[in-house]
Structure 1
């Protein structure tokens, strides 16, 4: 019975990531096909996804033109003036910019004393503190995001004295895997 239990757990470990990945990719294809595929004059499998990618590229190219930059800035100001919508729009816009433009997000894994001295938690160094924050400290502080295990959407932004940070020589990807698996997968070194 013990062997069956071990084989079952091993099977779950092998199958779960594959099934989850296939499910997410299939959902993306399905949504793209459902939204765009049925409204296009040509139809073949994958046309919705191709159309979505082309639409994103077209919008990206158009947004780089001077006149459209002005229009987009006007729309930003207009949406930014609506009380509740402003908060949601600005939050999503800043998060999108941070994720899509910053190649350094979740790259620098560190150990920090958290939740109290003597204990170390894995975290990720965030961009340099801005002047309004930095001026409140007598020494150099660094902002570190300490994610919660199994849930990357939650965590804590903490300000830590630079002297208390222990840089890790691990890949950002393996540090994220460590957090997402609650420590079951240990971080691998940079090679």
Structure 2
């Protein structure tokens, strides 16, 4: 009987834990996007849950449309020039803007290539992601051509470590970024189901 109850408990947790975590994340994101309603005077705010999500999407698309034309781009340049003169603001804004440009650029390879590196020591392998190639002093003072790699922590992949790894010591993986992230977040329990086999490897 104890064994049966344990099986039921584990089966129930496998259903409710990911479902509960998903609902919490969705609730957080919706609540965050709903803050865009603060742009509307209190007397005119619609009392509809989630309407802030739609408003946020419209706001982002509208801002992008304005910034894409000539006058809008000139306004953006002028605003950024103004922000660059404010000591603390220019540091924060400049860093976040550079990060966003790196991630969302069509030419960017950041976080588009999961890899294996020997970390934290030789003989132990970790999932990582290529985030770029360092230039200037960092590259000049290394004997090999190195790549900047991000090693995410488990189960929270938003924190982690930046390591500079020689390109020759990197093993590029065939799995997608989503599969690699899923592997990290699940503590290694969830593995890609359709991993391509190499060198005649037919292990199940």
With normalisation by structure 1, the TM-score equals 0.83
1:96 corresponds, among 91, 94, 100, to 100
Q: Which moved more, 1:129-138 or 1:8-17?
A: 129-138
**Structure 2 runs not aligned, ≥5 long:** 198-204
- Given that residues 36 and 55 in structure 2 are in contact (C-alpha distance below 8 angstroms), is that contact kept between their aligned partners in structure 1? no
Aligned to 1:77: 81
When residues 41 and 175 of structure 1 are mapped into structure 2, their CA distance, relative to the original with a 3 A threshold, is same
Superposition deviation, residue 9 in structure 1: 2.3
Superposition deviation, residue 42 in structure 1: 8.0
With normalisation by structure 2, the TM-score equals 0.78
SS across alignment from 1:186: coil
Count residues with an aligned counterpart: 191
**CA deviation string 1:108-159 (max 9, x = no partner):** 1111111122221111112233244322233322221111111212211111
Aligned to 1:154: 159
What RMSD over aligned residues (CA atoms) do the two structures have, in Å?
A: 2.7
When residues 147 and 47 of structure 1 are mapped into structure 2, their CA distance, relative to the original with a 3 A threshold, is closer
Q: Distance in 2 between matches of 1:29 and 1:182?
A: 27
**Structure 1 runs not aligned, ≥5 long:** none
